[in-house]
Amino acid sequence: MNAEITGVIVMFAITVLLAVPLGKYIAAVFKGEKTILDFIAPFERFVYRICGIDVTKEMNWKQHMLAMLAMNMLWFVYAFVMLISQGSLFLNPDGNPSMTPDLSFNTAISFMVNCNLQHYSGESGLTYLTQLAVITFCNLFLRQLELQP
The one-digit pLDDT tens for each residue of the chain (149 residues) are: 688 899 999 999 999 999 999 999 999 999 989 999 999 999 999 999 998 889 889 989 999 899 889 988 999 999 999 999 999 999 999 999 999 999 999 999 988 887 877 887 777 789 999 999 998 888 887 666 655 55
Q: What pTM, to 2 d.p., does this model score?
A: 0.68
Query: SS3 breakdown of the chain: % helix, strand, coil, rounded to 5?
Result: 70, 0, 30
Task: Please list, in sequence order, all residues whose beta carbon lies within 8 angstroms of the beta carbon of residue 52, skipping any fewer than 6 positions away.
Answer: none
126 and 96 in contact (C-beta within 8 Å)? Answer: yes
Residue 13 has, within 13 A of its CA and on its CB side, a CA count of: 6
Task: Please list, in sequence order, all residues whose beta carbon lies within 8 angstroms of the beta carbon of residue 117, skipping any fewer than 6 positions away.
Answer: 106, 107, 110
**Furthest CA-CA distance within the chain:** 56
What length is written for the chain?
A: 149
